A and B are shown apart, each in its own frame.
Chain A
Amino acid sequence: DAMVIQNPRYQVTQFGKPVTLSCSQTLNHNVMYWYQQKSSQAPKLLFHYYDKDFNNEADTPDNFQSRRPNTSFCFLDIRSPGLGDAAMYLCATSRWGTNEKLFFGSGTQLSVL
């Protein structure tokens, strides 16, 4: 059974039209992450939550926002998608701790037309 669920698997949006990607987890993990991966590049950390504490990476554009209304759900909002935002978006969770591994969703492939 999937423990980290991302919807939708594929998302097509128009240039400049706001889009929201969702992630849910059944693991009750307190840390949730959003990564962006473009073709042949490393997954790039956008931000993460430790419980309700939001942590933005310094180079994450303001166009990207996130919400975590409760432990189970986390959303990635792209306010005005550009062509350069087309990518795979991965959600991951973990417990806080030295030896804790990441659990990933299957990702949302975003296309911007």
Chain B
Amino acid sequence: ILNVEQSPQSLHVQEGDSTNFTCSFPSSNFYALHWYRWETAKSPEALFVMTLNGDEKKKGRISATLNTKEGYSYLYIKGSQPEDSATYLCALRGNTGNQFYFGTGTSLTVIP
């Protein structure tokens, strides 16, 4: 069992604001780091799969960075929109099997 932590737990921002969240994990157990978006009443959906130190991924207004040496990843949302409101989960795939271990998520609410 690997401990994955996310902060903040929840966030309220105004439409148009940019924001970011943090995911931290034990660097010695790293194999891959995933970000998922989970909207209410829907299934979690993958945003990014990151495997290399220094990886930067981008999808529209959302981007993510990865530091495997120090054990953290940042997710950035530029110019938040109400449709970005969701819970953002990160998951660590450890280096000993197929298991994925999730953080508690960051619940984002974008206020119009």
Name A residues whose Cβ lies closer than 8 Å to a Cβ of B.
4, 31, 33, 35, 40-45, 48, 50, 55, 57-59, 90, 92, 94, 96, 98-107
Contacts and interface: CB of A to CB of B under 8 A. Distances in A.
A55 B105 contact: no
Interface string B1-27: 100100001000000000000000000
A97 to B, nearest CB: 10
Sorting the interface of chain B by its residue count into under 10, 10 to 19, 20 to 34 or 35 or more gives 20 to 34
A55 B4 CA distance: 20
A33 B102 CA distance: 13
A40 B99 contact: no
Contact of A106 (B42, B97, B101): B42
Contacts of B34: 101-102
Nearest to B104: A42
Given A98-B51, A103-B46, 15 more contacts: A40-B104, A42-B4, A42-B101, A42-B104, A48-B99, A55-B98, A98-B32, A101-B34, A102-B34, A102-B44, A104-B43, A104-B44, A104-B45, A105-B43, A106-B41
Contacts of B45: 104
6 contacts: A40-B104, A57-B1, A57-B99, A102-B44, A105-B43, A106-B43
Contacts of B97: 55
Contact of A4 (B41, B43, B46, B98): B43
Contacts of A104: 36, 43-45
B72 interface: no
Given A99-B32, A99-B51, A105-B43, A55 B89 contact: no
Task: Give the one of B1, B44, B91, B101 with max A CB within 10 A.
Answer: B44
B100 interface: yes
A43 B43 contact: no
A102 B36 contact: yes
